[in-house]
């Protein structure tokens, strides 16, 4: 496995030149210079409606963004991907397109994760008199009640003959834990078959996953998948994958009724996408491939994962040290350093000498030069269901790294934490 050339990677991000340490990348990564260049070039030189007779160059450039999305998802066709303003909006569009295919009494399984992949299905269930079931995270540590994770053993009993859809988050933006998608979906579909379910689809939120691991919608056997481009080193938009069979048999078009959508993504992509942003996305895959000599996405993500595990180590070791545990530090999620968790760490400080999450973030703000964050990060119900109950107005502290972060940056963060927790 190749070793990441961190200097080469960092040189591709203009905002890193200031020396500021960005440590809440789960909220949004830095934008690669190549993405910025393509957006500026598009707006400067070829900005026109795609339907214009002189806009052949524009159409080709927008198509390049879709080609990149196909490769990011490991989809098979441009007809399977569509862009939108956000992952939340795309999932809402998908839920709207599914409305006529959801029947009263159908069951939808959701997780206690980001509301982007919860809210649309809860609203759809309410409109169609369907039933919502929850896949609960379970405690995995007697010493830390906030150490919770999802187990497929807790998912399968939820499946019945009426199960119509499971909305799964591939990686929790709070817990940092990764769901083993291939095994989970295989077990889910087998259970549904045994229960006599007529039709089950899987809607996958890969927003917190996409910058850390390789997505493979074919291998995972999922029907829908969304990512936020601005969390994968691009600009502020999002892209979705939809399985062709779902486009053909599950969807009712939500676009203008006079348009011939021909079972393509336009069924859930009203009007045109942000053209310059889609073209900007075409630079993401070449950047990722440049990280390894193999010029291969899988190799690049393997290298990324290895680097992130290395830089994650000093932070988790500090936060789980006996002294910090006695101090009241509690990791949200599992604390082991392995491939089943990303470099995304959330924690609280509780007990007799508790510290508010906001006060920890404010200490970093006063120190300057490092950005971390606190809150519930869209996963309101995950935080709200932790016990002992946490203050929802305060949330948890989140520190999240991606591959352009360095071990030296992590050590500086640990130094500040050591002062704050002293």
| Longest Cα–Cα distance in the chain | 70
Residue range 203-218: mean pLDDT, rounded: 98
The predicted pLDDT at position 53 comes to 57
Residue range 76-88: mean pLDDT, rounded: 96
Residue range 148-163: mean pLDDT, rounded: 98
* Domain map (residue ranges) of the chain: 6-30+297-420, 40-287
% of the chain exceeding 90 in pLDDT: 90
- Gap between the Cα atoms of 385 and 44, Å rounded: 49
The answer to which of 33-42, 230-239, 251-260 has the lowest mean pLDDT is 251-260
* φ, ψ at 251 (rounded to 5°): -90, 145
Q: What is the pLDDT of residues 320-337, one digit of tens each?
A: 999 999 999 999 999 998
The alpha carbon of residue 120 and the mean position of all alpha carbons in its chain are separated, in whole angstroms, by 16
Q: What is the pLDDT of residues 100-138, one digit of tens each?
A: 999 999 999 999 999 999 999 999 999 999 999 999 999
Angle between helices 119-128 and 87-97 (to 10 degrees): 20
Question: What spatial distance separates the first Cα and last Cα of the chain, rounded to whole Å?
Answer: 39
- Gap between the Cα atoms of 413 and 311, Å rounded: 11
Confidence of residue 59 (pLDDT cuts 50, 70, 90): confident
Per residue, the 3-state secondary structure of 187-235, as one string, reads HHHHHHHHHCCCCCEEEEECCCCCCCCCCCHHHHCCCEEEEEHHHCCCC
List alpha helices for 291-406, DSSP H: 297-319, 322-327, 357-367, 380-384
Residue range 325-354: mean pLDDT, rounded: 96
Position 52 pLDDT exceeds 70:
no
Is the Cα torsion angle 133, 221, 274, 93 positive or negative in sign?
negative
Q: Return the closest-CA partner of residue 100 out of 265, 256, 270, 254.
A: 254
The predicted pLDDT at position 55 comes to 60
Does domain 40-287 match CATH 3.40.640.10? Answer: yes
Q: Which tokens belong to 15?
A: 């905002």
Q: Return the closest-CA partner of residue 364 out of 399, 408, 314.
A: 399
The predicted pLDDT at position 202 comes to 98
> Is the CB of residue 324 less than 8 Å from the CB of residue 24?
no
Confidence of residue 81 (pLDDT cuts 50, 70, 90): very high
Position 236 pLDDT exceeds 90:
yes
- Gap between the Cα atoms of 264 and 356, Å rounded: 49
Confidence of residue 51 (pLDDT cuts 50, 70, 90): low
Top pLDDT among 192 and 60 is at 192
Position 421 pLDDT exceeds 80:
yes
Q: Which tokens belong to 133?
A: 């079931």
> Is the CB of residue 281 less than 8 Å from the CB of residue 239?
yes
Confidence of residue 54 (pLDDT cuts 50, 70, 90): low
Q: Return the closest-CA partner of residue 32 out of 332, 364, 289, 252.
A: 289
The predicted pLDDT at position 262 comes to 79
Residue bearing tokens 């599950």: 250
Position 26 pLDDT exceeds 60:
yes
Is the Cα torsion angle 414, 415, 417, 421 positive or negative in sign?
positive
Q: What is the pLDDT of residues 355-383, one digit of tens each?
A: 999 999 999 999 999 999 999 999 999 99
Q: Which tokens belong to 157?
A: 């009993």
- Gap between the Cα atoms of 134 and 238, Å rounded: 26
- Looking at every residue in the chain, the average pLDDT score rounds to 96
% of the chain exceeding 70 in pLDDT: 99
| Other CB atoms within 10 Å distance of the CB of residue 120 | 24
b/e per residue, 7-33, with b = 16+ CB within 10 A? eebeebbeebeeeebbbbbbbebbbbe
Which CATH architecture fits 6-30+297-420?
A: Alpha-Beta Complex (3.90)
Confidence of residue 273 (pLDDT cuts 50, 70, 90): confident
Q: Is 178 helix (H, G, I), strand (E, B) or coil?
A: strand
- Gap between the Cα atoms of 267 and 250, Å rounded: 11
């Amino acid at each position: 496995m190749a070793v990441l050339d961190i200097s080469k990677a960092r040189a591709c991000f203009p905002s890193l030149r200031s020396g500021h340490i960005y440590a809440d990348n789960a909220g949004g990564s830095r934008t690669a210079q190549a993405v910025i260049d393509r957006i500026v070039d598009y707006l400067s030189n070829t900005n026109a409606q795609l339907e214009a007779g002189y806009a052949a160059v524009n159409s080709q450039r927008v198509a390049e963004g879709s080609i990149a999305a196909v490769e990011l998802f490991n989809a098979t066709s441009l007809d399977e991907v569509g862009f939108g303003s956000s992952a939340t909006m795309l999932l809402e569009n998908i839920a709207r397109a599914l409305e006529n295919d959801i029947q009263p009494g159908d069951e939808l399984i959701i997780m206690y994760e980001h509301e982007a992949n919860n809210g649309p299905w809860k609203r759809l269930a309410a409109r169609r008199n369907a039933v919502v079931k929850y896949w609960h995270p379970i405690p995995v540590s007697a010493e830390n009640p906030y150490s919770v994770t999802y187990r497929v053993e807790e998912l399968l009993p939820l499946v019945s003959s009426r199960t119509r859809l499971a909305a799964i988050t591939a990686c929790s933006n709070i817990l940092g834990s990764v769901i083993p998608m291939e095994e989970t979906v295989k077990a889910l579909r087998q259970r549904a078959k045994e229960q006599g379910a007529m039709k089950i689809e899987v809607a996958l939120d890969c927003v917190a996953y996409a910058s850390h691991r390789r997505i493979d919608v074919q291998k995972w056997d999922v029907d829908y998948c969304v990512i936020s481009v601005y969390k994968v080193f691009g600009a502020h938009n999002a892209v979705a994958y939809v399985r062709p069979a779902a486009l053909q048999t599950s969807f009712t078009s939500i676009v203008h009724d006079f348009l011939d959508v021909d079972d393509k993504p336009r069924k859930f992509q009203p009007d045109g996408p942000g053209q310059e942003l889609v073209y900007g996305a075409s630079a993401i895959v070449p950047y990722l491939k440049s990280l390894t000599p193999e010029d291969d996405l899988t190799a690049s993500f393997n290298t990324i994962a290895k680097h992130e595990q290395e830089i994650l180590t000093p932070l988790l070791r500090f936060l789980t040290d006996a002294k910090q545990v006695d101090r009241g530090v509690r990791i949200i999620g599992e604390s082991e350093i392995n491939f089943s968790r990303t470099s995304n760490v959330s924690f609280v400080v509780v007990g007799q000498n508790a510290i508010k999450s906001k006060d920890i973030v404010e200490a970093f703000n006063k120190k300057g030069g490092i950005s971390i964050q606190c809150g519930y990060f869209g996963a309101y119900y995950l935080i709200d269901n932790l016990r002992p109950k946490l203050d929802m107005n305060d949330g948890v502290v989140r520190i999240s790294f991606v591959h352009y972060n360095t071990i030296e940056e992590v050590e500086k963060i640990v130094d500040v934490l050591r002062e704050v927790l002293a």
